[in-house]
Amino acid sequence: MSRRLLVSTFAHEQDLLDATNTAREKGYTILDSFTPFAVHGLDKAMGMRPTRLAWVTFFLGISGAIAKLWFQIWTSATSWPVNVGGKPLKSVPAFVPVTFEVMVLFAGVGSVLFFLFRRKLWPGKKPRFVYERTTNDRFVLVLVEDRADFDVSEVRQLFAPFHLVNLEERMEQES
Amino acid sequence: MAEILSTLRPPLVLGNKSYADITDDVCSALERKSSTGWWTSFIIAVGVLILGAISVGYQLVTGVGVWGLNNTVGWAFDITNFVFWIGIGHAGTLISAILFLFRQRWRTSINRSAEAMTLFAVICAGIFPIIHTGRPWFAYWFIPYPNFRGPLWVNFRSPLVWDMFAIGCYLTISALFWYVGLLPDLATIRDRAKTMWRKKIFGFFSFGWDGSNRTWQRYEKLYLLLAGLATPLVVSVHTIVSWDFATSIIPGWHTTIFPPYFVAGAVFSGFAMVLMLMLIVRKVMNLEDYITLHHIENMTKVIIATSGMVGLAYITELFVAYYSGNPYERFAFINRALGPYGWAYWLMVTCNVVVPQFFWWKKIRRHVGMVFILSIFINVGMWFERFVIIMTSLTRDFLPGSWSGFTPTILDITTLLGSFGLFFTLFLLFARFLPMIAIGEVKGVAGVKRATPPGAVEKRKEVAHEPAPVG
Amino acid sequence: MKDHLHTSEDQLNLPEEFSRRSFLKLAGFTFAGGVLAGCQQSNLEKAIPHLIKPEELVPGVPLWYASTCAGCSAGCGVLVKTRDGRPIKLEGNPEHPISRGGLCAVGQASLLGLYDSQRLGAPLAHGKESTWEQVDAAIKAELEGIRKRNGAVRFLTGTITSPTTNELVRRFLSTFKDARHVVYDPVSSSALLDAHERTHGVRALPQFRLEKATTIVSLNADFLGTWLSPVEFTKAYRQGRSLQGTPPVFSYHTQFESRLSITGSNADERVSVSPVELAHVASRLLSLLTERAGRRLPVAVPLLDERLERCTTECVERLWRTKGKSLVVCGVNDVAIQVVVNAINEVLGNYGSTIDLNRSSYQAQGNDTDLAKLLDEIRSGNVSALFVDGVNPFYDLPGAQELAAACETIPLPVSFGERNDETAEHMHYVLPQPHELERWNDSEAIAGIVSLTQPTIQPLRPARPLMETISIWMGTKESAYNLIRAEWERSIFKRQTREQSFTQFWNKTLHDGFAIVEPKRQAVSSFNPAAVAESLRQLSTQSLQQKLFVELHASSTILDGRHAHNAWLQELPDPVTKIVWDNVASLSRKRAESLNLHEGDVVRLNREGGRVIELPIHIQQGHQDDVISVSLGYGRKGTDRFHHVNPKWLQAKPTVEKGGTVGTNAAPLLEWKGKTLSYFVSGIEVERTGTNRQIAVTQEYDFLTNPNLLGESSGEKRNIIQQASLATFVANPSAGSFPKPPLDSLWPEEHTYPGHRWGMVIDLTACTGCSACVISCQVENNIPVVGKDEVARNRELQWLRIDRYYEEEGETLRVAHQPMLCQHCGNAPCETVCPVLATVHNSEGLNQQVYNRCVGTRYCANNCPYKVRHFNWFQYPRGDEIARMVLNPDVTVRDRGVMEKCTFCVQRIQLAKIEAKNEGRALRDGDVKSACQQSCPADAIIFGDVNDPNSEVSRKMKDPRTYRVLEELGVRPSIGYMTLVRNSDGIAVAEGGMKNG
Amino acid sequence: MKLLNNRMTTVVLLVAVVLTMSVFFTSFTSNMRLPDNHQGFEPVQPIAYSHRLHAGELGIDCLHCHGGAEQSRTAGIPPASTCMNCHQFVTASILSVREEDKLAAKESRPPRKIVSPDLQKLYRAVGLNEMGERDISLTAEGIEWIRVHSLPSFVYFNHSAHVNSGVACQTCHGNVETMERVRQVSDLSMGWCVNCHRDANANGINAKPVNASIDCDACHH
């Protein structure tokens, strides 16, 4: 099914924040909001859960480190043990630097890929929401007209104090 | 955002810009035709790059002997350049990552180009470990890949292997960090693009970014994480580079002070290089409103600090050498200061310890010309620091019978120049085609006043070019 | 014997190394090129087996032939190692009584001469290539004419030790009315023989028995370097200086000399004297000794200055204390001095003990008087046939030009030689001589010690030995083999009694390489004092007032120039100056300063008579102030062949200019003193040219002490060479030892060496610095020559270098030689840093260098505390195909871009182990001898298995004298060095060392 | 639905990538060969000498011709004289000789000497004429055999060490006695050598314990 969306545009992040807060207080369903830069407090205003990306990074890092440490010990002590400068075959201290580097590599690359995957971003992807100035100087709040008694004019009233720049209705794209 | 608006601190962006102005200021630079200034500098850079490429090509065909090296001095310009460039790279990561973690908002207008600089510096650095080998076509043996030799792996005890991993990792992470930061801005350019191909290209590379706040939320987190990873990474990288020397046995190399000493030096030289670039950029790309004297001053302050650390390291080295009671170590340092390469040592001390002291004067800190010249001195000094460390220790180590000297050949010099050519070529291309300033971040700290035009009028104006409702 | 040498030509002209050389790079590029290599072999290797397989010759298994070295006329015994029909290594023959297993650098390197593609390929007639038939016909015709008109026939040769050749020459000359065989040595010892003619009535060169002498006084005789028979003398010298036994028998060696020679650098006491002083010292010694003997000299001998008076009196004390067991030798080619020296030895009663006139030596037979006479004859144009063999008069005699001009008048000038040299180009006929390894020959270098030379390869050049030529001219077309057999059957066989049948005797000699027979009797009359008086008078006339001399001496590498075409020797650093590819005018710092000259400044040495040579100067420690010493043998024609011996690249400087020569010929400065050639030339004026020439040296800093702030060597002294005086050593065997630092390891001892563990001990007391080991290593391990420019850039490739350190204490200069090679450290710093495991430890304690794995980061070399690793900076040229035949097929030929270093001759270790395994026995001590050890004339190097408690090396390792260089670094070297002990009482050499933290 | 599809596509993409990579890797390990891996090399030799016939049917010992293998680094290619030991008598296959005899009997004449084409080449090589008779005008020219097993020049393999410690020729050269034309059976790669040495150290050769060094300089010096 396709839903009707109400798109309201503002010219300043502060307006957007206030609008979002009021909208949530009034119990409107907020689909998303679009801004040229990360507006602090907006997550709270929209009532979003904090992301768990950090955990992904953590586990990727740990696994990378363990894998590499094992690999180094395996190659130099098991696969082909060679006497190098009289050092023991398992010279663990010498294996630390590479282990660390690989840990960082896994964590870093992993979390970026994970981020792109979760947010479904990839090269050549078409932007989902098109409102040309959201990447420039416009702040957009998108409400879902999911209630039977949803009244656009009421919302206009509600947002008026926040220098509402523009208000329009759209249909969510089918696919 | 209040603290930024407060009058106690100078504003980070001058000429109270609107969001649109910021976008225009940054992006217009990319949409204009390239200035003659850009063209001339680009042609020079490419010329030097070609010179370097030719000399490297000649060296690959003829042998490493075309450099001034000998049996006693196995490394000279090659590794000096390597360490120098790696060092340069560090400032970028420091600005973008460490300053980010410390919530130093002033970084926003320089971090983009600083990161770019890191990337290009690391590329320049990465070339030398490969071409300095006798048989570069076997350089891939550094990589532990499955093979038909038994299988025969690599020596994970060798700092050179650590290097390979460190640089590889550093390059990747910096690139990611840089690109992730670039994403929203690419979208901005895409959205304001007029021409077809601009739309397409930036459309492709902006990964369909639409400024959704749900993305922004994770993006912020990701950025924070990357910053958190890059910070220890940058320290580890130069630590490992310093271990190339510190884990060896040669007097003057075999010392525990190297890691901190090298990292400080790296940041030191890196900031000098950033300053040089920024001073050029803000002039050429007229971004004076974004890269303000305030920024420059901050960087000079970092330089004073790091120069102090480097100076301290020099003194500590001398003291430890004397205190160690190890005759070879002791001589290594006497020789460093008074031996055949004493001139280089004193040049280094002057450039790295004496010259930066000028930055104690606010006048000089805020005098663009002076700052530019001094930072050049610092870069020269830091190149010589590496040269001195390598040269003095290698030329005269344990057995006097094996002592020797080093004189660079033409190709040593052209190769060094070539690396600069490569660096500036890449940087100029970057300046030409990508936003020099993190638009999104700057908007975040620009402190734009809440606009209060009568909504209706505003709206009517809007409607004019409002896209037809979709769906 | 000959058919053993049958070898298919193809194999000779197709050295497998050829493909080997190009391999690494090729592989490299294809590797880089990717993984998609096809199935079929890129270049097919055609293998051609012998058609008829001689029983002894198994491809890949070396054959050894006993033979005689022809590097000089000392006649050392060699063993020739041949692989697949080509000689690849010369080693000393341990049984041979002269060299006793040693072989000097020159001998080792003479192998390269065999593969010299510039040797003449056909006889020359009037400068044009001709055939033997034509040449023989022409010459025989000429000779007939001369015989008819009783023309003067002169046969001018260098010292010929071959009895057969001498006999044949005698017979040949006897067919003419007026014929003479004139012998001279380019570096002449004529006076020594003449002196004995005067004092003992026989013109002979006695055999000096240094091993029997407990006091050795040498007046400018470089007997460990180039004088007469260096290997023999070195062996004997060592024998007389052993630290075994209590008290040890250790000779005391005083050296009076004007320049610093190898011998001087090993002397216990070294007195630098000017030539005049030298003469006076000789007479003073004699007078003092005669006084001791309670007799008086007919002539009053002037006193010397305070310093020399002291030295001489001390010297006399020692000599007298050890009379009968002492020896005074003199290297000055001046009859008067030599007579006086004979007198001294007579007074000391050394004749019959340390000087043997009955088993006299034939190692130098030159007679300057005859030579002078011949030269007069030539000038006056009454020589009708001149045959020159083995010498190069137009190069190595003064006034070569006018001599050459005079020779134009000779109807039949003929020269025998390997190449078209300075002399040959003035001759009507040039008859190419084969290389010693291609031919049959014999030698009696010391009366009663006869040895044979046998061919070890099919001749590479269609040459014909002198003896065959003569026999052809005399109508008997005998092969050299038959001629020698015949001569031996006639004369030599009779001088022995051990073998009954000649064939047995012959075969045994052939197998052993030598035989001991009765020396020819010669009438030695008792000492004739009459000669002494007027000699003393002569010497006393020489005024002591200071004037400048030029001393000309043989080069310690290319001798009198006969080896100037040998790249190995040209690149062998002079043991003292460490200079390569050049000769220089050495002088003292004082003299240089007074002339305001700096290292490398080119000076012009003017001698009256318009004889001028230009040379760069070299400031030399321990040089007498009034003497400039110049080495002979350089500036040979055709040495511009080395123009491209070094790699070509942007900033490369050619080793020698096109049309130029390596170094400068100093022979024009030689002067005739009466009827002897004098090597001390006075009346020379030195003139600055203002130009400066780079001198390539292999050692740039010469002292054990750090340079101080001004760069002078007065800083702290480094603990690198343990030194002790004999006195302190006798008191305490570990005298002079450095403080032993605590060596705790952070690591657990994880690596054990259960089987063999290879180690080496180098006795610094024994080592004379002669550098034989350097060349031996170079030959064995396919080390290329890199040329002057590369050496000047400190890129020489010799795996074994000899560090030479000076210590100056006021008057006295102390010199120490330290062979430095890979120490095969147990905890090798080079290994830890190699990223690709190209240098790792093996299970027998060797530090392996795997060339094909090496990427060439040079990190290992940087991290080597001994700096003994050498890098292939370029693809070093290895000469033409012929030159490449010398390569050792058991050692990889390294390509550019890889690191290399001493391997302890691992190829020998491996082969020895396999042989032992195949014979089902354990490896014995001495089965593996490293190349350096094998050649060392002083037996200073001992190599072996340290795990074997009975091996010599493990015993030496426990010796209190043994220490390890830079032990405090904890790298655990496998090479032990033994304290350098000098017979100099109470010298505080050990003290003042630094305390290591 | 759109969102779902996106995930689908990503998953599909990932799977595809993984597959291609694994395919590439397996192919790399299985049949991709490095330069100088001439496994299966089987050149045509100047003389069609059959190991199957000599070593197989006639059962001549390998060492009879390749005696070097016992004493030397190289096994060596036998000199033509070794061939001549037999082939001065044996000039053709027994069958063709019988043929000739029959024919001769039929035509009642003394049988002619039959020389097989390949032996004619041999005779020429040692300087005899095609019929294997002396001929002063001819000179020996040798046989240019094409080398089948060749190692890089920096590898020193010693036959005697292996033969004497009981390694069968076939271990490396395969069943030559069954080959009409000799083919390189093993890939002669370093891993192949090293792993055989490891195996020998662990299990010995024919249950006889041996010490097969895996030090680098056992082969590289």
Contact B149 D190 (CB under 8 A): yes
Residue C362 has a pLDDT of 93
Are residues D191 and B150, on separate chains, in Cβ contact within 8 Å?
Answer: yes
At residue C42, does pLDDT exceed 80? Answer: no
Cβ atoms < 10 Å from Cβ of D103: 12
For D2, the closest of A117, A122, A175 (CB atoms) is A175
Each residue's pLDDT tens digit, D141-197: 778 888 888 888 899 999 999 999 999 999 999 999 999 999 998 888 899 999 999
Residue B446 has what pLDDT? 73
> How many whole angstroms from its chain centre is CA C141?
42
pLDDT digits (tens, 9 = 90+) for A75-98: 999 999 999 998 999 989 999 999
CB contact under 8 A, B218 and A84: no
Give the dihedral sign, CA C312/C314/C316/C322.
Answer: negative
**pLDDT confidence bin for C15, thresholds 50/70/90:** very low
| C841-888 confidence digits (pLDDT tens) | 999 999 999 999 999 999 999 999 999 999 999 999 888 888 888 999
Termini Cα distance of chain A: 10
Please report, to the nearest 10 degrees, the dihedral formed by the alpha carbons of residues C153, C158, C159, C160 taken in order: -60
Q: Which of A25-29, B242-246, C97-101, C926-930 has the lowest mean pLDDT?
A: A25-29
| DSSP annotation of C310 | H
Set of chain A residues whose Cβ sits within 8 Å of the Cβ of C747: 86-88, 91
Residue-by-residue pLDDT tens, chain B, 471 positions: 333 444 445 667 776 777 878 888 888 877 778 788 889 989 999 999 999 999 999 999 999 999 999 999 999 999 999 999 999 988 888 888 888 888 777 788 888 888 999 999 999 999 999 999 999 999 999 999 888 888 899 999 999 999 999 999 999 999 999 999 899 888 888 888 888 888 888 888 988 888 888 888 889 899 999 999 999 999 999 999 999 999 999 999 999 999 999 999 998 998 899 888 888 888 877 788 888 888 888 889 989 999 999 999 999 999 999 898 888 999 999 999 988 999 999 999 999 999 999 999 999 898 889 999 999 999 999 999 999 999 999 999 999 999 999 999 999 999 999 999 999 999 999 988 888 888 888 887 777 776 554 343 344 334 333 343 433
CB pairs under 8 A between B and C: 206
> Which of B172, B216, B461 should we substitute to test contact with A (largest number of A Cβ atoms within 10 Å)?
B216
- Closest of B47, B120, B124 to residue B78, by C-alpha: B124
Q: Which residue of A has its CA nearest to D14?
A: A117
Which residue from C60, C755, C917 is facing D73, i.e. has the nearest CB?
C60
* Residue B369: both structure tokens together: 């010309």
Mutate to test the interface with A, among B152, B156, B176 (most CBs of A within 10 A): B156
Nearest to C748 among A82, A83, A88 (CB): A88
Residue C969 forms contact with A (CB below 8 Å) = no
Q: Is D13 helix (H, G, I), strand (E, B) or coil?
A: helix
Query: CB distance C31–B137 less than 8 Å?
Result: yes
**Whether pLDDT at C609 is above 80:** no
Task: Give B64's DSSP letter.
Answer: G
Two structure tokens written together for C817: 């030689």
Nearest CA in chain A to C830: A85
**How many CB atoms sit inside 10 A of residue C315's CB?**
25
Contacts of C840 in chain A (CB under 8 A): 82-84
Amino acid sitting at position B284: V
Long-range contacts of C655-662 (CB under 8 A, 24+ apart): C655/C581, C655/C787, C655/C788, C655/C789, C656/C581, C656/C788, C661/C634, C661/C635, C661/C636, C661/C637, C662/C564, C662/C570, C662/C581, C662/C582, C662/C634, C662/C635, C662/C636
Residue in chain A lying closest to D194 (CA): A80
Q: Do A88 and C750 touch (CB under 8 A)?
A: yes
Predicted confidence (pLDDT) per residue in C407-425, tens digit: 888 999 999 988 888 999 8
Q: What is the value of pTM for the model shown?
A: 0.90
Cα B435 to Cα B24: distance, rounded to the nearest angstrom: 11
Question: Distance (Å, rounded) from C-alpha A128 to C-alpha B133?
Answer: 50
D10–A117 C-beta distance less than 8 A: yes
CB contact under 8 A, C866 and B398: yes
Pair of tokens at residue B268: 């030191």
- Residue B341's Cβ-count burial label (10 Å; 0-12, 13-18, 19+) is buried
Chains A, C: CB contacts under 8 A, how many?
36
Structural tokens at position B159: 């700092």
Q: How far apart are CA D51 and CA C422, in angstroms?
A: 60
| Contact residues, chain A, for B172 at CB < 8 Å | 105, 108-109
Cβ atoms of residues C886 and C868 within 8 Å: no
Establish if C31 touches chain B: CB-CB under 8 angstroms. yes
Instruction: Report the C-alpha gap between C264 and C252 in whole angstroms.
Output: 13
CB B19 within 8 A of CB A39: no
Phi and psi for C246 in degrees, rounded to 5?
A: -125, 125
Whether residue C468 has pLDDT greater than 80: yes
Q: pLDDT value at position D36?
A: 65
The token pair at C765 is 């007391």
Instruction: Report the sign of the C-alpha dihedral through residues D126, D127, D129, D133, in that order.
Output: negative
pLDDT at position C273: 92
Residue pointed to by tokens 């974004």: B290
Chain D residues in contact with A122 by the CB 8 A cut-off are 10
Are the beta carbons of A86 and C748 separated by less than 8 Å?
no
Confidence class for position C259, pLDDT limits 50, 70, 90: very high
Mutate to test the interface with B, among C820, C862, C869 (most CBs of B within 10 A): C862
Mean of pLDDT over chain D:
84
Residue C702: list chain B partners with CB under 8 A: 400
Q: Tell me B30's DSSP state.
A: H
Which of B139, B249, B402 lies closest to C863 in CB terms?
Answer: B249
How many percent of chain C have pLDDT more than 70?
A: 92
The residue-averaged pLDDT of C329-353 equals 93
| Nearest CA distance, A99 vs chain C (angstrom) | 16
What proportion of chain A, given as a percentage, has pLDDT over 70? 95
> Which of B219, B236, B243 shows the shortest C-beta gap to A101?
B236
Q: Do A175 and D5 touch (CB under 8 A)?
A: yes
Burial of A1 (0-12, 13-18, 19+ CB in 10 A): exposed
CA gap C433, C415 in Å, rounded: 10
- Can you read off the two tokens belonging to residue C215? 């006091």
Q: Does D29 touch chain B (CB under 8 A)?
A: yes
Q: Provide the pLDDT for residue C3.
A: 32
pLDDT at C44 > cutoff 50:
no
Please state whether C381 falls in left (phi above 0), alpha (psi between -120 and 50) or beta: left
Query: Which strand (E) or helix (H) includes residue C614?
Result: strand C611-619
Which of A149-153, B7-11, B458-462, C465-469 comes out lowest in average pLDDT? B458-462
* Residue of C276, C279, C275 whose CA lies nearest to C258: C275
Contacts of D69 in chain C (CB under 8 A): none
Is ipTM beyond 0.95? no
Q: Is A175 within 8 Å of D1 when comparing Cβ atoms?
A: yes
CB contact under 8 Å between C28 and B400, yes or no, is no
Residues D105-138 as b or e (16 or more Cβ within 10 Å = b): eeeeeeeeebbbeebbebbbbbbbeeebeeeeee
Q: Which of B388, B407, B399, B412 is nearest to B339 (CA)?
A: B388
